[in-house]
A and B are shown apart, each in its own frame.
Chain A
């Protein structure tokens, strides 16, 4: 029996409805349980002495003063931990040529970025551990720091890891068609230089881990704020030499992730190693400076790009030269080459054109390592593409909406393969654009803009179409050799009282995973969502899975839950058929009752079935299966990724005297396939948009020429706050994927993917009459005033 998703009046129709999140109530009552809320008997705290310089040889380490602090029990150096923890090398076989040196939990001979952990101090209180860490004396012999991306490969630039030969971590050139030829014959060629600033995620809950080692059982238990508990289980097992089955990773409430908490961090592995060495629970909670200097950074790209168009605005070619600096190590195990690789994969994404060339150059430098952060590579690729398209439209005197309509893949063109060799199963660029234009009342907005201009106000409209990669298959990591599961699983069981418990390998980070799973399971089995209890984030009890990243929770984890729930329904009905002497296929389950499928007449509550199966199994036929626990797994097979699409628009005003941008309105139409919970999807998109707006207007990690981090606090690294943010209008087009019954694709990153480009285009639309243009994010007042020629020096 298939679910009639298009019939909103079908029985148990929870998929597609806004149902409340089961875990929200505890969080508003302050009854969440984040890692730092947990205290275990005999627990100790670890703090780290970190490199204050970007690149140095580690000389003598003097620990006497640190050890003298009251409460300090042990102090560990890199050499101490290297004896119990093997180093890791973050490469992937399918990213050809990617190289990276071995990385240890604590630096051994050399420190390579400001913030790299060098010495670990364990004490009875965090205050004592921090005090002692500040008293660790390390003789740092300065080495030259490499900080500039564009000169990292120059002959006279020092090589950070001499054994690797040069500072090139990875380079990929993709060529399709004849770019030179198309450029030569084009009506117009527009080129631009773009820059996206270094960001970090700024999760409100800092990175947190509490690891307990029970030597008697040989069992490690890590309470970890992570997106990928099973991946971490594998990592701890492998590098600390523990059987995988003896590592349990528990991920309770997590205070925000956005990609920050899906990576392997040296200080977290060090915490686990120390717990094993000391046989006691060890807690590490990053402080805010540690967050800024050691959480992964992202998006530090410099790009030269060109677009060629004919006189009708048809795109003939796009040419992109992308450079990014990733810090001294590729980050384990996802690697730091993926972001640049995504830029190559995603530029030009919405458009049907023939000639494409893109190269990414990924270099080492002495700054905090970069890696995957929400919407990996998308904000960069969308800014390049949509910036170029708007510039081409301006050259041609064409409306920005019109030029997009002339180039976007037709909605009936699918399946297609893009010039970047991405395969699209089904997208809806035109329908989405039409919806957006209607929602924003484009013509009225243009009239308002003109009106404002007459009053000396510079308002602009910016559009950004985009594609977004979700539901990744093993093509993302697995084929490269990483033990990162693209498959996910769900176990669904019925308990004696007729309630249902679902254990899922995907995790909750606040996006509403548990609500999404509860409504899918409720519909799949035929009970109310309130009768479903979801368990996630415990490697000892949930099926093995990838966790939550790359917008896969609903599309992969949701489908596994649906299949498991349907299987449980079938086994319940098999028992019910025997009990009621009816053909199981004539029965259904609705709101926790076994009913007659045609008439809906109630035949038996699930509670009664549970009572018989669990306590009076003797009354059932001897050979009747009574398996009220079912597990199913799901993995995508047809497409490497399920692409989604969407389009955003920004309306804003630029104060040409101060350079300040005021956001007036923001719209997003997103096609994430089947929408499971409209409210949760909309709020994911809103939150994502605001993260993108942060990148467009405020967020930038600053370093000086010596690799010194200059803004390591929340007061100095600006993020969006309530007063400056606009209300946002969200709309949907639904093109379900045919790879699953559920048809869901991902939704969590689309907001972040498109918002910066929409803002950039809106600012440039506002400034165009003044002949000014900005392409370097964030668009600070200073950069805008410079573009206007009001600041020079």
Chain B
């Protein structure tokens, strides 16, 4: 850590709908800020270099890797993690589908996977299995072999389309 990284930056943002003000080290990654400073341990750190997707969170409406973004960049941002998406019931159907289909084993990839899947689902339409696989291809899961995850996402896409809120 050089002197530059010791510098602190003031940020004001909303996290899961709540205002947060903090003074963060300039070099701190968003995932560490969420996990260490805010106690939001739902998103996980795994590869810490942008490959695995375990740290995926939603920032200003799009899914973002929490290990590539700096907390200092979050000033003014609207950030959602799995905890907030759970509390607001935004992804209940997707979570239920994951449980019903056993689309998770160890669950370490799951919070990131859910955020990535929700990004696809909220784009509307009924994506094909190949499109689902493609969209999730930046999210690594070592346990499931992916098929159950694709099944769960597909079933939610179809259910939402059936309800007309696609």
**Which residues of A does B touch, CB under 8 Å?**
20-21, 24-25, 27-34, 36-37, 127-128, 131, 201-206, 253-258, 287-288, 509-512, 679-680, 683, 686-691, 713-715, 719-723, 725, 727-728, 751
Contact = CB atoms under 8 A, between A and B. Distances in A.
By secondary structure, the A interface counts as loop
Contacts of A30: 40-43, 81-83, 86, 110-111
Contacts of A689: 145
A722 B114 contact: no
Contacts of A510: 104-107, 143
Nearest to B129: A727
Interface string B136-149: 11111111111111
B143 A205 contact: no
A147 B144 CA distance: 34
Contacts of B62: none
Contact of A686 (B1, B44, B148): B148
B100 to A, nearest CB: 7
B147 A253 contact: no
A202 B47 CA distance: 10
A27 B54 CA distance: 13
A36 B145 CA distance: 25
Given A24-B102, A686-B144, A722 B149 contact: yes
Interface string B35-64: 100001111111111011010000000000
B20 interface: no
A719 B105 contact: no
A510 B145 CA distance: 13
Contacts of A679: 102
Contact of A256 (B49, B86, B143): B143
Contact of B83 (A29, A33, A512): A29
A36 B106 contact: no
B77 interface: no
A510 B104 CA distance: 8
Contact of B144 (A25, A37, A683): A683
B133 A723 contact: yes
Contacts of B30: none
Contact of A288 (B43, B46, B111, B142): B46
Given A28-B110, A255-B106, A288 B49 contact: yes
B150 interface: yes
A751 B149 CA distance: 18
Nearest to A130: B1
Contacts of A509: 105-106
A686 B145 contact: yes
A452 B24 CA distance: 60
B134 interface: yes
Contact of B106 (A20, A25, A205, A691): A205
B95 interface: yes
A287 B54 CA distance: 14
Contact of B1 (A131, A201, A722, A725): A131
B83 A721 contact: no
A512 B54 CA distance: 21
B104 to A, nearest CB: 6
Given A20-B99, A679-B102, A725-B145, A255 B51 contact: no
A727 B134 CA distance: 14
A201 B51 CA distance: 16
28 contacts: A21-B99, A27-B104, A28-B110, A30-B40, A30-B42, A34-B44, A36-B45, A37-B35, A128-B1, A204-B46, A204-B106, A204-B140, A255-B106, A256-B106, A288-B46, A288-B47, A288-B49, A509-B106, A683-B144, A687-B144, A690-B145, A713-B49, A715-B51, A722-B137, A722-B141, A723-B136, A725-B146, A727-B147
Given A31-B42, A721-B138, 17 more contacts: A28-B95, A28-B98, A28-B111, A29-B82, A30-B111, A36-B41, A36-B45, A204-B44, A206-B46, A253-B106, A253-B107, A288-B48, A691-B145, A713-B49, A715-B51, A723-B134, A725-B133
Interface of B: 1, 27, 35, 40-49, 51-52, 54, 81-83, 86, 95, 98-100, 102, 104-111, 114, 129-130, 132-134, 136-150
Contacts of B136: 722-723
A421 B142 CA distance: 34
Contacts of A20: 99-100
A127 B41 contact: no
A714 B49 contact: yes
Given A127-B1, A687-B145, A204 B42 contact: no
Given A24-B98, A37-B41, A719 B142 contact: yes
Contacts of B110: 27-28, 30
A728 B146 CA distance: 10
Contact of A29 (B27, B95, B142): B95
A127 B32 CA distance: 11
A265 to B, nearest CB: 18
A256 B51 contact: no
Contacts of B114: 28
Contacts of B52: 204, 714
A255 B107 contact: yes
Given A131-B1, A683-B102, A202 B48 contact: no
Given A204-B141, A714-B52, A683 B111 contact: no
A253 B111 CA distance: 14
A205 B1 CA distance: 25
| 4 closest Cβ pairs, A-B complex | A30-B42, A27-B107, A255-B108, A510-B106
A203 B145 CA distance: 13
A29 B82 CA distance: 6
Contacts of B54: 204
Contacts of A29: 42, 82-83, 86, 95
Residue in B27, B47, B142, B147 whose Cβ sees the most chain A Cβ within 10 Å: B142
B115 to A, nearest CB: 10
Nearest to A509: B106
A728 B86 contact: no
A488 to B, nearest CB: 21
Contacts of A202: 142
A45 to B, nearest CB: 11
A279 to B, nearest CB: 23
Contacts of B48: 287-288
A549 to B, nearest CB: 15
Contact of B142 (A37, A203, A723, A727): A203
B104 A24 contact: yes
A725 B81 CA distance: 28
Contacts of B134: 722-723
Contacts of A686: 144-145, 147-148
B83 to A, nearest CB: 5
A738 B51 CA distance: 47
B63 to A, nearest CB: 15
Nearest to A202: B142
